[in-house]
């Protein structure tokens, strides 16, 4: 195989756009890209059999992707974006329906918070596991299983007649979302090769994610006001059925997996307990304070579980939940730290803006949702422009510039007062913040997923999604605490936006530690696939 590759003059060298710098063969960057942990010329730490299995798996993945060219790739992109939109939408779609849910099912104030919390905790806690499942059991199979869980639990939850049933189904929804969300990104990164095509696909995926997050309040308000709160969940069932039928038609069948590769059950359990415990503890801090018993139990238990995860993965896991070489890549390691901070900035933004519109400007649920439309549109446009900016300045510079732009928007937003109107108090700063956000997420995603071998793409996707969600959860809890120290609601919102501006500035500073990424080469194929993709061991580098 190697001799055939070396003697084939038609095959261009593999693209390196966005990869960390390093020796062309071997070194830390090459190790992380291949997932082997060593140079091709030396013995593989995990044995020749494992190396051969990775070579065969990489060839099978690329062979499967041949069925999705041109228009087929666009259809796969639309499919992945539709599923991602559903997942992100359901994070917030029930927020405006909570008063109706409380009256309909007889929730008390304490139990009502779990309608939102059950989904958020299950989603964040299971993302690492969900990402790895796609690597081990096939992207198509895992995508369909996650979609089925999500859609069926939405149906049962929408028909629930008791509080306990609804909370349980929201947790199952979160489980389905944790399996589905990493699969959508993994499908894109294995369908589109590194270069302009992948950057455009990730920009579209990012724009749809932003739209889903912002549209939750609007869609929830429209459905609750015009139909019933139940339709905030029931609507997922027909959409999920249609998406599943399209997935069966569009996604290539999963190839046989290497028999030696098994799920790292201890690692998966510890990761799930650790992240879930941390998220639970943070959500309890909003209600009981940082010194409350529930808060300390969640944070302490989560930290212990994650310490156990590090020990198990470092010493005992033969095929770890997060491949060791993946974490040695600077783009993955630093990129996820940047994504965690970005989540801490942008996820809380919607929370504080929604409260300001409803509590200070006295907007209703529907008017609040409509008030977010300019933010959503600005974020979508900016995300679509991000690949063009990346080609000109590179991902690292764009991350720094867009984070500083968002910081300027948050500083402007902090000037809001009790008598500010929509145009001066929200629209102007909102457009600046949303533009910075839209430009920021695509280059982070591209950096984290660049140079990752196909058999580790799910783990990379799950890690990035988990970083964003955990960052948002911790950021929201911390910012609520900061806002609570002020005298009055408006002063609290001002402090929160000042703090978010500081976090954005930290993102810009941390971008300097990312590996440089040159602008995309002119030889990159426009659809994101090299004319003749690399095969064999070369392809995993």
Residue 146 in tokens: 């996650």
CA distance 342 to 507: 7
Q: What are the DSSP calls for 219-267, one per residue?
A: HHHHHHHHT-TTHHHHTHHHHHHHHHHHHHHHSPPPPPPPTT----HHH
Residue 209 in tokens: 């994610």
Q: How many CA atoms lie within 13 A of 411 on its CB side?
A: 11
What is this structure's pTM? 0.69
pLDDT for position 272: 79
Only one residue has tokens 């259809």, namely 75
pLDDT for position 71: 57
Per-residue pLDDT in tens (0 to 9) along the chain, 541 residues: 433 433 343 334 444 333 334 433 333 333 433 333 333 334 444 444 444 444 444 444 444 444 444 458 888 888 888 888 888 888 778 877 878 888 888 887 667 777 877 887 788 778 877 877 877 788 888 899 999 999 999 999 999 989 889 999 998 998 899 888 888 888 888 788 777 777 788 888 877 877 777 677 778 878 887 888 899 899 899 999 999 998 898 888 877 654 556 766 777 788 778 877 887 887 777 677 778 888 888 888 888 988 887 887 776 656 677 777 777 777 888 888 898 999 888 878 877 887 788 778 888 767 877 888 888 888 888 888 888 898 888 888 999 999 999 999 999 998 888 888 888 888 999 999 989 988 998 888 888 877 777 777 777 878 888 888 888 878 887 888 788 777 778 888 889 899 999 999 999 999 988 887 644 443 344 444 443 333 333 333 3
pLDDT for position 431: 92
CA distance 296 to 290: 7
CA distance 496 to 478: 9
CA distance 31 to 29: 5
CA distance 424 to 420: 7
Best CA proximity match to 269, nearest among 316, 323, 315, 308: 308
Spatial contact of 321 and 132, defined as CB atoms under 8 Å apart: yes
Spatial contact of 439 and 447, defined as CB atoms under 8 Å apart: no
For 107, other C-beta atoms within 10 Å of its C-beta total 20
Spatial contact of 97 and 226, defined as CB atoms under 8 Å apart: no
CA distance 235 to 237: 6
CA distance 453 to 446: 14
Reduce the secondary structure of 147-207 to three states and give it as a string: HHHHHHHHHHHHCCCCHHHHHHHHHHHHHHHHHHHHHHHHHHHHHCCCCHHHHHHHHHHHH
CA distance 444 to 465: 12
Fill in the DSSP letter of residue 421.
Answer: -
- What are φ and ψ of residue 6, in 5° steps? -65, -30
Best CA proximity match to 195, nearest among 536, 530, 534, 541: 530
Only one residue has tokens 């890549």, namely 329
């Amino acid at each position: 195989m190697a001799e055939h590759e070396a003697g084939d003059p038609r095959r261009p060298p593999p693209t390196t756009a966005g990869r960390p710098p390093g020796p062309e063969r071997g070194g830390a960057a090459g190790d992380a890209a291949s997932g082997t942990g060593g140079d091709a010329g030396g013995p593989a730490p995990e044995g020749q059999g494992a190396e051969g299995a990775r070579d065969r798996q990489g060839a099978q993945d690329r062979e499967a992707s041949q069925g999705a060219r041109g228009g087929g790739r666009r259809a796969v992109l639309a499919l992945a974006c539709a599923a991602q939109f559903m997942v992100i939408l359901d994070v917030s779609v029930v927020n405006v329906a909570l008063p109706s849910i409380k009256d309909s099912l007889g929730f008390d104030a304490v139990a009502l918070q779990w309608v939102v919390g059950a989904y958020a905790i299950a989603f964040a806690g299971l993302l690492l596991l969900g990402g790895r499942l796609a690597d081990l059991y096939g992207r198509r199979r895992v995508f369909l299983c996650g979609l089925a869980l999500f859609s069926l639990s939405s149906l049962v939850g929408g028909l629930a007649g008791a509080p306990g049933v609804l909370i349980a189904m929201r947790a199952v929804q979160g489980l389905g979302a944790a399996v589905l969300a990493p699969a959508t990104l993994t499908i894109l990164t294995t369908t589109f090769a590194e270069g302009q095509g992948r950057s455009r696909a990730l920009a579209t995926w990012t724009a749809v994610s932003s739209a889903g997050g912002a549209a939750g309040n609007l869609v929830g308000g429209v459905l609750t006001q015009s139909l019933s709160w139940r339709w905030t969940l029931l609507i997922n069932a027909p959409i999920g059925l249609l998406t599943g039928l399209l997935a069966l038609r569009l996604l290539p069948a999963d190839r046989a997996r290497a028999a030696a590769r098994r799920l790292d059950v201890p690692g998966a359990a510890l990761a799930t307990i650790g992240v879930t415990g941390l998220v639970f503890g943070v959500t309890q801090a909003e209600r009981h304070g940082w010194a409350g018993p529930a808060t300390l139990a969640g944070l302490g238990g989560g930290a212990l579980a994650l310490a156990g995860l590090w020990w198990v993965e470092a010493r005992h896991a033969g095929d770890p939940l997060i491949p060791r070489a993946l974490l040695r890549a600077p783009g993955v390691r630093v990129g996820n730290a940047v994504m965690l901070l970005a989540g801490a900035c942008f996820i809380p933004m919607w929370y504080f803006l929604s409260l300001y519109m409803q509590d200070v400007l006295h907007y209703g649920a529907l008017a609040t949702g409509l008030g977010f439309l300019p933010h959503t549109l600005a974020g979508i446009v900016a995300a679509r422009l991000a690949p063009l900016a990346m080609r000109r300045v590179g991902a690292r510079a764009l991350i720094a510039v867009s984070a500083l732009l968002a910081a300027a928007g948050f500083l402007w937003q902090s000037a809001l007062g009790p008598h500010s109107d929509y145009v001066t108090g929200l629209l102007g700063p909102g457009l600046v913040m949303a533009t910075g956000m839209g430009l920021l997420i695509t280059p982070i995603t591209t950096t984290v997923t660049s140079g990752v071998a196909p058999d580790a793409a799910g783990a990379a996707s799950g890690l990035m999604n988990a970083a964003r969600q955990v960052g948002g959860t911790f950021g929201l809890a911390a910012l609520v605490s900061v806002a609570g120290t002020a005298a009055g609601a408006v002063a609290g919102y001002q402090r929160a936006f000042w703090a978010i501006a500081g976090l954005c500035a930290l993102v810009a500073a941390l971008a300097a530690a990312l590996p440089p990424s040159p602008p995309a080469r002119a030889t990159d194929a426009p659809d994101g696939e090299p004319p003749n993709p690399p095969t064999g061991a070369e392809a995993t580098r």
